[in-house]
Amino acid sequence: MQLEGRCMVQDYDISVVITTYNRCDMLAEAIESVLEQQHGDIKYEVIVVDNNSTDRTREVIEGFMARNVNLRCAFEPRQGVPHARNAGIAHARAPIIAFFDDDIRVSSNWIANIKRAFDEHPEIDFLGGKILPRWKTAPPPWLTRDHWWPLALLDYGDVPVYVTADNPLCLPTANASFRREVFDRVGLFAPDFSRGEDHELLLRLWQDGRRGLYDPSVVVVAEVQPERLQERYHLRWNATTGRYNSLMHLNEIMGSDGRIVGEPPDMIRFFGVPAFIYKDLMVETRKWIGASIMGRKQTSLRSRNAVWYLLGYISKRYENTPPQPRLSTASEIASSIKALVLKKLRRDVK
């Protein structure tokens, strides 16, 4: 991990980290957006992490470094967003670290609103805001806000909302800021999560009792690539997200009301997969088929994406469940049914 740039000894209020890989054509506009801030007397630095790019990324960064003393470049040879973000954290010199990506354009008051939000809310540890689309091509009619997640877009409305284990709204690192001390407390981004690394970090923060804030004034715009407007992209995204969420045991630790409650010790499983996941799969499959027959496109796509997510969740769990040669399929099913019956009996007794 190498760092280049002219380092001045001074105190910064915010360190901005931009991670990039082979997107030199987008990167220049992203850097310009954060350098052209209406920031008042706020002191901030910009660290661009080149994640082993093979295009003109280095040339673009060096062009900005030549005329901006507070812009630096960190080179991270290990491929993957978690490695790149962790490299940015290692070189950041401010108590607040703000992240965004190379396909993002931050609003002109982005820095000022981040600083204001942390100053006004000393109780929060992390902060996120709106991620609005800039369409390169017109989106298809089916791509409503129900399908924004695969595009890394976010809009929870125009009212600030606390984000906790009781209200676990995801705040993607395409527009997220953290007090530096939280990384000392819960650790860095997990290298095992090349997808969903931001969600996994938030999960640790929620489990540690940390509080965040969604602030609608902290706005960025994401350039939506045309390939992300295709249905097959959304299917792949949901299947991959299901696999990574399975690693987190996310569906197990979320209560029926959406809160992070922890994994019940008496949860019934089949081949390492919670029984309710199979039930959800059957429900969503039935909805998908029914909506397809009735010609309800939106419902059909929603349920089909849910099916792909659940299949990804299940397949990853199968991979990670050690084989039990002495236990036949019939025996495992019988054992699970027995556990289910005993659980119901205990509940009825209470």
**Residue 8, pLDDT score:** 41
- Which long-range contacts does 268-272 make (Cβ < 8 Å, 24+ apart)? 268/336, 268/339, 268/340, 268/343, 269/336, 270/332, 270/333, 270/336, 271/317, 271/318, 271/321, 271/332, 272/317, 272/318, 272/320, 272/321
Grouping H, G, I as helix, E, B as strand and the rest as coil, residue 167 is strand
C-alpha–C-alpha distance, residues 27 and 18, integer Å: 9
**Residue 346, pLDDT score:** 55
Contact 88, 19 (CB under 8 A): yes
Model confidence at 347, pLDDT cuts 50, 70, 90, reads: low
Same domain, 284 and 188: no
Percent with pLDDT over 70 in the chain: 89
Q: Is residue 236 part of a domain?
A: no
**Residue 271, pLDDT score:** 84
Same domain, 263 and 123: no
Two tokens, residue 258: 């959406």
Q: Is residue 238 part of a domain?
A: no
**Residue 333, pLDDT score:** 63
Same domain, 150 and 288: no
Q: What is the CATH number of the domain that holds 101?
A: 3.90.550.10
Same domain, 57 and 180: yes
Q: Is residue 193 part of a domain?
A: yes
C-alpha–C-alpha distance, residues 130 and 308, integer Å: 27
Q: Is residue 158 part of a domain?
A: yes
Stated as kind and residue range, the H or E segment containing 9 is none
Model confidence at 76, pLDDT cuts 50, 70, 90, reads: very high
Please give the single-letter amino acid code of residue 71.
L
Token look-up 């005993």 returns 342
Q: Which of 63, 65, 51 shows the shortest CA–CA distance to 23?
A: 51
**Residue 266, pLDDT score:** 84
Same domain, 14 and 94: yes
**Residue 39, pLDDT score:** 86
Q: Is the pLDDT of residue 344 over 80?
A: no
**Residue 9, pLDDT score:** 40
Q: Is the pLDDT of residue 259 over 90?
A: yes
pLDDT mean over 189-216: 95
Same domain, 19 and 106: yes
Q: Is the pLDDT of residue 327 over 90?
A: no
**Residue 323, pLDDT score:** 63
Contact 304, 298 (CB under 8 A): no
Same domain, 82 and 183: yes
Domain assignment of residue 165, given as a range: 2-225
**Residue 6, pLDDT score:** 42
Same domain, 127 and 273: no
Same domain, 172 and 25: yes
Q: Is residue 232 part of a domain?
A: no
Sign, CA dihedral 71-72-77-81, equals negative
C-alpha–C-alpha distance, residues 179 and 284, integer Å: 40
Number of domains in the chain: 2
Q: Is the pLDDT of residue 304 over 70?
A: yes
pLDDT mean over 71-91: 96
Same domain, 64 and 156: yes
Token look-up 């280095």 returns 58
**Residue 255, pLDDT score:** 86
Question: What digits encode the pLDDT tens for the residues 161-180?
Answer: 999 999 999 999 999 999 99
Question: What digits encode the pLDDT tens for the residues 5-28?
Answer: 444 445 899 999 999 999 999 999
Q: Is residue 231 part of a domain?
A: no
pLDDT mean over 88-95: 96
pLDDT mean over 233-237: 96
What's the mean pLDDT when you consider all of the chain? Answer: 90
The rounded Cα 173 to chain-centroid distance in angstroms is: 6
Q: Is residue 233 part of a domain?
A: no
Same domain, 175 and 276: no
pLDDT mean over 246-253: 94
Contact 211, 123 (CB under 8 A): yes
Question: What digits encode the pLDDT tens for the residues 93-141?
Answer: 999 999 999 999 999 999 999 999 999 999 999 999 999 999 989 999 9
Same domain, 307 and 271: yes
